Structure 1
Amino acid sequence: MSSITLRFLAEPSTVNFGGNVHGGTVMKWIDEAGYACASSWAKRYCVTVYVGGIRFHRPIRIGDLVEVEARIAYTGTSSMNIAVEVRSGDIKTGQLHTTTECLIVFVSVDASGKPVPVDPWQPLTPADVALAARAKAQLDASRATAH
């Protein structure tokens, strides 16, 4: 499966001092959706090795419907680059807005933690091609600044 969407209501237990969902909670949701997408693609356990470009656009309010969509953007030998978009809004209207987005890289590993190859993902639509190019450019940029 090259994408997955988690849907749920933002609960009061996730509130921060400002009265909105805590950013750390949103990051947890992002990691969970990314893991579900990566492990379903790899058909095995995967580990998070990179989270980058996280951007918080707007707050999530308690009681909002939340969608966390994770989709394969690019694959390497054993890695999967997952683009994650979080949307939220009033469940009564069904109108959702992008609240957060980022890129996560997962690596497929065996029982001893060694990387295991994954099937390559091929972008089929122009939107997929553009997403793959953005993911690769972001990773290349992060590697360039790491040295």
Structure 2
Amino acid sequence: MSKRQRDITLRFLAEPSDVNFGGKVHGGAAMKWIDLAAYACAAGWSGKYCITAYAGGIRFVRPIHVGNLVEVNAKVIYTGSSSMHIAIDVQANDPKELTNRLTTHCIVIMVAVDEDGKPSTVPEWVPISEDDIALRESAIRLMNMRKHIGDEMEAHVKYLK
């Protein structure tokens, strides 16, 4: 694959089947959309089948209403040897007004795999702009924080057995 796609935007209308008991689009629907966009972004960058390894820091900022036009923006912000950190922003608007508002954001880590399901190398993403350098540095800080959180979670698992 010679051309790499670093970012992607998925767009669709929120449907009545996406509604929770409170009348808004439920978080599970937004998480599904996030996973779809992360996959499309990671596959576009790596040229390979990718699996979700981590989804974290999900912030539900504002509700999404049925009938809203939803945009899920995904962008590679860091690459490891086989992993890609994907920043996701979900925005929504009334299609008659077209004023986007942030509803959800998070980081998803996708891993490229080969035909046997084993991790496979991905092209390195090298930031050039100041904004991209800041995004990469943020991804590295978050990766380090996740290591500490993982250690704490292991302690909980030990005591729950």
Which bracket does the TM-score occupy, shorter chain normalised? over 0.9
- Aligned equivalent of 2:36: 32
Unmatched segments (≥5 aa) in structure 2: 152-161
Deviation at 1:64, TM superposition (A): 0.6
Deviates more, 1:132-141 or 1:56-65: 132-141
Q: How many angstroms apart in 1 are the aligned matches of 2:11 and 2:136?
A: 25
For the pair shown, the structure with the greater C-alpha radius of gyration is 2
Secondary structure, counterpart of 1:91 in structure 2? coil
Which consecutive segments of 4 or more residues in structure 1 shift more than 4 A? Answer: none
Q: How many residues align?
A: 147
Q: What one-letter code is carried by the residue in structure 1 that aligns with 2:84?
A: M
- Aligned equivalent of 1:17: 21
- 2:142 alignment partner, one of 130, 133, 138: 138
Pairing of 1:71-86 with structure 2 (within 5 A): 71-86=75-90
Q: Does 1:45 align with 2:53?
A: no
Q: How many angstroms apart in 1 are the aligned matches of 2:133 and 2:96?
A: 34
Deviation at 1:130, TM superposition (A): 1.2
Unmatched segments (≥5 aa) in structure 1: none
TM-score normalized with structure 1 length: 0.98
Q: How many angstroms apart in 2 are the aligned matches of 1:44 and 1:76?
A: 15
Paired-residue identity, %: 51
How big is each residue's C-alpha offset from its partner over 1:75-106, in whole Å with a ceiling of 9 and x where there is no partner? 00010000000000111111001100000001
Q: What one-letter code is carried by the residue in structure 1 that aligns with 2:117?
A: G
Q: Give the aligned CA root-mean-square deviation in angstroms.
A: 0.7
Q: How many angstroms apart in 2 are the aligned matches of 1:90 and 1:136?
A: 36
- Aligned equivalent of 2:103: 99
Secondary structure, counterpart of 1:52 in structure 2? strand
Q: How many angstroms apart in 2 are the aligned matches of 1:38 and 1:136?
A: 18
Secondary structure, counterpart of 2:91 in structure 1? strand
